[in-house]
A and B are shown apart, each in its own frame.
Chain A
Amino acid sequence: MTTLALAWRYLWSRPLGAALNLLLLSLGLASITFLILLGHQLSRAFERDLTGIDLVVGAKGSPLQLILSGVLHLDIPTGNVPLQAVRELKKNPLVASIIPISLGDSFRGFRIVGTSLAYPAHYQAALAQGQMWHAPMQAVLGAGAARALGLQLGQSFVGSHGLGAGGHTHGDLPYSVTGILAPTGSVLDRLILTDTASVWKVHETATALDADDQKILEEERELTLALVRYRTPMAAMSLPRFINSSTEMQAASPALEISRLLRMLGIGTDVLQALAGVLLVTAALSVFLALWSAVRERRADLALLRLLGAPARRVAALLMAEALWLGLLAAALGLGLGQLLLQWIGWQLALDQSLLIGGLAWPPSLWWVPALALGVSLAAAALPTLGAYRVSVQELLQSR
């Protein structure tokens, strides 16, 4: 019998105590796993959706809202900006390219985004079926949206006004599905893409009273926002200030705003981390108590091992091995529970379609969990182990 096998038997000789300790330790580790994975998923989601977008230009308002609405498609937009103003901006020598984004309508909760073909190209989206749009009122579905809506190529649907469900429908102008994108793992998966002109058409036809009215509306065409790519990094110094001070528009840097958002979220995760820490310390104390009472209960057993010729360090190693088993089991259980928890919460909050990609992930920071598990259980075992090391054989001889 090896020391590990023997420790395993001793551990499970008190099944209830061992199971409770394991549970306590696992819950602490699961919370930490959950927090690490959540942070990892969020930052990866942001990174993935924000890459290559240097600046977002839209209506004045909250810069964070502009990023959340225009890039991550989580919030409602700040308003619209004149098409003319965006065209002017495009001529600016500091601007390399512009992707227009027009929001306003949705279909069963999925946003209809009026844009240009540069938008799917920016995320390197490939078509799974059909083709890209080449005329207004043709739509290309993101992979997630297509799956959830159950729409096929050639089918048509009508958008409803507003970004949530329940707005009035634009019944007279249906979209037809011309293509479905392959999953990109980016924000595109949950969007319905169409040409910017489709959005104009829907709204102008709906509101124009006659041909003259239509003409006026065409002159007043708007976009919701524009995703800007700089020609040179130097642009970051001057372009946002120029836009904010001398145009009607607002410029927001996604990188800046998201790091601000993460800092705000950071306070929340710090609190959660502290709670997980408290849970872990509680677990450590419980493991300590369990091992301590194990040493007391098994004093005679341990002394007998010394009597049988086991060196003191071998007896101490037995107790350490017991703690090691607890740590290993708790690490495995905690990691599993944490992953499940994230999946479950993602599913509950329907975040799996937006920010969380789900699936099993192993960011390097997750190595903290097994390291903590072993550290905590071995630290808890230190004092009991010393007790086992010093167990006196004399007591066994004098027991009466």
Chain B
Amino acid sequence: MITCRGLAYRYKAGPLIAFADMTLPQGGVLMVSGPSGCGKSTWLALVAALMQPAAGQIEVAGQALAGLSAAAADAWRARNIGFLPQRLHLSAALSVQRNLALAQWAASQPEDLAAISRALESLGVADLAQRKPAELSGGQAQRVALARAVLMQPKLILADEPTASLDDEAAAAAVALMHQTALALGATLVIASHDVRVAALLIPRLASPARLQTMQLPRLAAMNKAA
């Protein structure tokens, strides 16, 4: 569940970026799109409580994020947000298993190898646990990164450009995988993408086309890229 009211953010010495009001129910699917430099990553950072809004209200997974202390935001993010970055960012120094353990370390939780196995199992990559990221194919790496994102059983999965640089077949597989995983967890799924294929791939998976919420962010001509 995501609710935004009058949300705005201001970079140092920059213009105020205002975002449209929106509500996404728990378990819903949202596609955020728009040209680059439209404040997409700013919106994602606000939703993940990485930044504090300059104005407005934002509530994610039952938590009001405006005014949350940095420590509370970190702890909240560890438990509630599963993040799938565009470049996956698996740590090359660590095995697949340890990469997942990193999420538990970041959440200040004791290492739980059984939970790691379950997460890898659910994405069909349990047998890769001892490999290094360099020894994985692109598809395998994405599955591992998704396993890391869902390890803490988050209420919200944020995917940043998950299909960029993937061919049609791989893009279809990636979207299907994300949707299945979110569905299995009952998690809300937010995909930030300017890839038109994503909407086309998502709509047939939903009960009706109207179930796919979209948020089109307008280009901000004066947006300061000093971020």
Residues of chain A within 8 A (CB-CB) of B74 are 306, 309-312
> Nearest Cβ distance between residue B139 and chain A, in whole angstroms?
20
* Chain B nearest CB, measured from A397 CB (Å): 4
Which partner residue on chain A sits nearest B132 by CB separation? A13
Q: Are A307 and B102 in contact (CB under 8 A)?
A: no
Nearest CB in chain B: distance from A141 CB, A = 62
A308 to B73, CA, bound (A): 11
Are B105 and A310 interface neighbours, CB within 8 A?
yes
Cα A1 to Cα B205 in complex, Å, equals 38
Residues of B within 8 A of A393 (CB): 45, 50
CA distance A304 to B87 in the complex (A): 11
Specify which of B36, B78, B79, B111 is in contact with A1 (CB 8 Å cutoff): B111
A300: CB under 8 A from chain B?
Answer: yes
The reply to whether A397 and B44 contact each other, CB–CB distance below 8 Å, is: yes
| B87→A9 contact, CB < 8 A | no
Q: A303 to B86, alpha carbons, bound, how many Å?
A: 13
Alpha-carbon distance between A396 and B101 when the two chains are bound, in angstroms:
20
Contact of B102 among A1, A298, A397 (CB under 8 A): A1
* Chain A contact residues, majority secondary structure: helix
Bound-complex Cα distance A301 to B92 (A): 9
Establish whether residues A307 and B70, one from each chain, have CB atoms under 8 Å apart when the complex forms: no
B221 at interface, CB cutoff 8 A? no
Contacting pair A9 B50 (CB below 8 A): no
Q: Are A9 and B93 in contact (CB under 8 A)?
A: yes
Q: Is the CB of B83 within 8 A of A308?
A: yes
| A305 vs B36: C-alpha distance when bound (angstroms) | 25
| Interfacial chain B residues near A396, Cβ < 8 Å | 85, 89
Structural contact, A311 and B70, CB atoms closer than 8 A: yes
Within 8 A of A (CB), among B85-126: 85-87, 89, 91-94, 98, 101-108, 111
Complex contacts, A301 vs chain B, CB 8 Å? 89, 91
Interface flag for A155 (CB, 8 Å): no
B134-161 CB contact bits vs A (8 Å, 1 = yes)?
0000000000000010001000000010
Which residues on the B side are within 8 Å of A309 (C-beta)? 74-79, 81, 103, 106-107, 152
> B109 — nearest CB in chain A belongs to which residue?
A309
CB of A394 within 8 A of CB of B227, answer: yes
CB distance from B109 to the nearest CB of A (A): 10
Residue interface bits A368-400, CB-to-B below 8 A is 1, else 0: 000000000000000000000000011011111
A307 to B78, CA, bound (A): 8
Question: Shortest CB–CB separation between residue A209 and chain B, in angstroms?
Answer: 89
- Contact in complex: B45, A13 (CB < 8 Å): no
A3 at the interface (CB under 8 A from B): yes
Q: Are A304 and B93 in contact (CB under 8 A)?
A: no
Residues on A with C-beta less than 8 A from B160 are 397
In the complex, are the beta carbons of B93 and A1 less than 8 A apart? Answer: no
A304, B85: Cβ atoms closer than 8 Å:
yes
Are A1 and B77 in contact, with the CB atoms below 8 A?
no
Give Cα A303–Cα B89 distance, bound, in whole angstroms. Answer: 9
Residue ID in chain B nearest A396 by CB atoms:
B85
Query: For the complex, is A128 an interface residue (Cβ under 8 Å from B)?
Result: no
| Interface check B207, CB cutoff 8 A | no
CB-based contact A307/B41 at 8 Å: no
- Determine if A314 is an interface residue (Cβ-Cβ < 8 Å): yes
* Closest A residue to B71 using CB positions: A311
Cα–Cα, bound, A6→B85 (Å): 22
B30: chain A residues within 8 A (beta carbon): none
Q: In the complex, are the beta carbons of B102 and A398 less than 8 A apart?
A: no
Interface residue? B65 (CB, 8 A): no
Q: Is the CB of B41 within 8 A of A394?
A: yes
Q: Which residues of A contact B7 (CB under 8 A)?
A: none
With known contacts A3-B105, A305-B106, A309-B107, A399–B86 Cβ distance under 8 A: yes
- 12 contacting pairs across A/B (C-beta < 8 A): A3-B105, A298-B91, A300-B89, A301-B89, A305-B102, A305-B106, A307-B48, A308-B83, A314-B106, A394-B45, A394-B50, A394-B51
Residues of A within 8 A of B (CB): 1-3, 6, 9-10, 13, 298, 300-301, 303-312, 314, 393-394, 396-400
Given contacts A13-B92, A307-B83, A309-B79, 9 further A-B contacts (CB under 8 A): A2-B105, A3-B105, A306-B74, A308-B78, A308-B83, A308-B103, A309-B78, A310-B105, A394-B50
Counting from the closest, the 4 A-B pairs by CB-CB distance are A309-B78, A13-B93, A310-B106, A308-B106
